Amino acid sequence: MEARLPVVHPWDMIPGMSDSTDGNALCRSCGLCCTGHLFIWVKLRPAELDPAEALGMKVFRSEPNQRGFSQPCPVWKSECTIYNSPRYPHACRTYRCSLLKAVAAEGVSLPEALTIVQDAKQMIRQVELLLASSSTAGTSPNPNFRERLVAELEGGTADPELRAKARALLDFYETIFGVTDLVDHVEEE
């Protein structure tokens, strides 16, 4: 019989939050940390590599500090399908964006946070349209939005409108979600 590990959700780690709170609603309605919009990949612990691969995640094992899976996460189906599973990766369980922390601290209400998420998704749609019409990113088979965006911007040929909207989106990611890198740096326990 498989041992069942306790499931720890991001809001369980924030004082005052529980499964029935606004944090739960925010995480389940957002999903940007799962879809490849905020991050290119997610770090995995060594013991999580095989189980993640068995779930259909594109796992890479190259260097010890670069073990993980590529985004978008294949178990995200408008909601995490392993959210209550003991196979839920440590990085996923412990990730808390700045917006979630603000909701937990009651500095931002759930309706405000949901509006912010919708604003982010609208900005993403605008950038996606520009990326799709781009000469290089538009033909890329890569499903990761963030990776395609970085490749286009680093290529130096990006349309000025795309550059401006991408810069605004990346600034929004940093200001609202606290995302300053292409991967979340999770503390090891």
Classify 15 in phi/psi space as left (phi over 0), alpha (psi -120 to 50) or beta.
beta
Edge-first strand listing for the sheet containing 59-60: 41-43, 68-70, 59-60
Q: Where in the chain are the domains?
A: 10-177
Dihedral sign of CA atoms 98, 82, 41, 122 in order: negative
Q: Burial, 140: exposed, middle or buried (Cβ in 10 Å; 0-12, 13-18, 19+)?
A: middle
The one-digit pLDDT tens for each residue of the chain (189 residues) are 444 444 444 545 444 444 447 777 888 889 999 998 998 889 999 999 999 999 889 999 888 778 999 999 998 888 888 877 888 898 988 889 999 999 988 899 999 999 999 999 999 999 999 988 875 555 667 788 888 888 888 876 768 899 899 989 999 999 999 998 764 544 444
For residues 127 and 168, is the Cβ–Cβ distance under 8 A?
Answer: no
The structure tokens listed for 63 are 């260097």
Q: Burial, 10: exposed, middle or buried (Cβ in 10 Å; 0-12, 13-18, 19+)?
A: buried
Intra-chain end-to-end CA distance of the chain, in Å: 26
Q: For the chain, give me the number of helices (H) and strands (E)?
A: 7, 3
pTM for this model (two decimals) = 0.80
Residue 134: count other Cβ atoms within 10 Å of its Cβ.
Answer: 20
Q: What is the three-class DSSP state of 95?
A: coil
Q: Burial, 75: exposed, middle or buried (Cβ in 10 Å; 0-12, 13-18, 19+)?
A: buried
